[in-house]
Amino acid sequence: MATPLSASRLVAALRAEGLRVVEHRSWRTHNRNHKGPWGPMRGVMIHHTVTSGTERSVELCYNGHAGLPGPLCHGVIAKDGSVHLVGNGRANHAGLGDGDVLRAVTQESALPPDNEADTDGNRYFYGFECVNLGNGKDPWPAAQLEAVEKAAAAICRAHGWSQRSVIGHKEWQPGKIDPRGFTMESMRARIKDRLAAGKPVPPKPPAKKYEPFPGAAFFASGRRSAVITAMGRRLVAEGCGRYEVGPGPSWSEADRKSYAAWQRKLGYTGAAADGIPGKKSWDRLKVPNA
């Protein structure tokens, strides 16, 4: 059991798992909380939409239909692996299901047969609808299956649950067949492996590359170079810009005065702050590659 994740925590958890998250319209305040309680949370439920097309499926899950108002889930998982959030709070996705299944999910034990519909599942489960016709022929792309795995694992990780807190709609409510096209046991095995591997480490951004010192002679009257423009922009960013117009690519008196201000900022005085770049002051300026 757990307190429902806030909208911000849900987005953060999904993105930390490496998912591309799309926030659809007013999903953060879109729910059915006026119809009943929301939480404590017990698990994650996976469905298929019986529709095709991302836009159409997302709109349907956000709005619902005449017989069942939206939201119809919390997130829609598209075939390209993107997750479109459509609701935050109680959603019309689980319906009535088997109380024995709920107890097994809570205890993270083996699931019994779902032969009753006596318990409100909308209160206790996060729901993800996956774009698929559910006819056994519509394919499940690898990117989509990976997104199902990541989305479920993200919520399990946030709550400290194991893979046994993830079930299919067909394991909850008698007569349901979704998700059709893969087994929940195989998906739980994937989620188990992902959780065991630990929280994903985001890739390090590439190291910034800076212009090497081109030598003092480079900075002479008439010199034109993108390096001079990049240098001037850095000087402006450091509060040392002395430009009326610019900076630009041509070495000018304004560049010299601006660089002299940078040298003085570093503590240089006299002839050492003449506005002609030296290697030590240049390296500290960190001029990005032009």
| Number of residues that this document lists for the chain | 290
- By percentage, how much of the chain surpasses pLDDT 70? 100
In contact, 236 and 53? CB cutoff 8 Å: no
Alpha helix positions (H), 17-111: 54-63, 99-107
pLDDT at 47: 98
Across residues 208-225, what is the average pLDDT? 94
Bridge partners of 210?
288
Q: Residues 51-72: pLDDT tens digits?
A: 999 999 999 999 999 999 999 9
pTM of the model: 0.74
DSSP 8-state class, residue 232? H
- Cα 213 to Cα 237: distance, rounded to the nearest angstrom: 19
Give pLDDT, residue 271.
Answer: 95
Strand partners, 46: 128, 168
How does pLDDT run across 85-131, given as a tens digit for each residue? Answer: 999 999 999 999 999 999 999 999 999 999 999 999 999 999 999 99
**Interval 70-84: pLDDT, tens:** 999 999 999 999 999
pLDDT at 1 over 80: no
Q: How confident is the model at residue 199 (pLDDT cuts 50, 70, 90)?
A: confident
Phi-psi category of residue 27: left, alpha or beta, with phi > 0 → left and psi -120 to 50 → alpha:
alpha
Q: How much of the chain exceeds pLDDT 90, in percent?
A: 94
pLDDT digits (tens, 9 = 90+) for 150-189: 999 999 999 999 999 999 999 999 999 999 999 999 999 9
Phi, psi of 254 (to 5 degrees): -65, -40
Q: CA angle, 156 as apex, 29 and 4 as ends, to 5°?
A: 30
Across residues 228-245, what is the average pLDDT? 96
Read off φ and ψ for residue 235, nearest 5 degrees: -65, -40
| Confidence at residue 51, expressed as pLDDT on a 0 to 100 scale | 98
Q: What is the pLDDT of residue 165?
A: 98
Q: What architecture is domain 7-196?
A: 3-Layer(aba) Sandwich (3.40)
Distance CA 263, CA 272 (A): 8
Spatial distance between the Cα atoms of 180 and 171, rounded to a whole number of angstroms:
12
Per-residue tokens: 94: 């689980």
Q: Sorting pLDDT into bands at 50, 70 and 90, what band is 207?
A: confident
pLDDT above 90 for 208? no
Q: Give pLDDT tens digits for 242-257.
A: 999 889 999 999 999 9
Query: Cβ of 6: how many Cβ atoms within 10 Å?
Result: 11
Q: What are the sequence ranges of the domains in the chain?
A: 7-196, 216-285
- Taking each helix axis from N to C end, the angle separating 253-265 and 226-237, rounded to the nearest 10 degrees, works out to 40
What is the arithmetic mean of pLDDT over 267-285? Answer: 97
Q: State the CB neighbour count (10 A cutoff) for residue 209.
A: 8
Contact (CB, 8 A) for 62 and 25? yes
Q: What's the confidence (pLDDT) of residue 202? A: 79
Query: What is the residue whose two structure tokens read 């450091």?
Result: 238
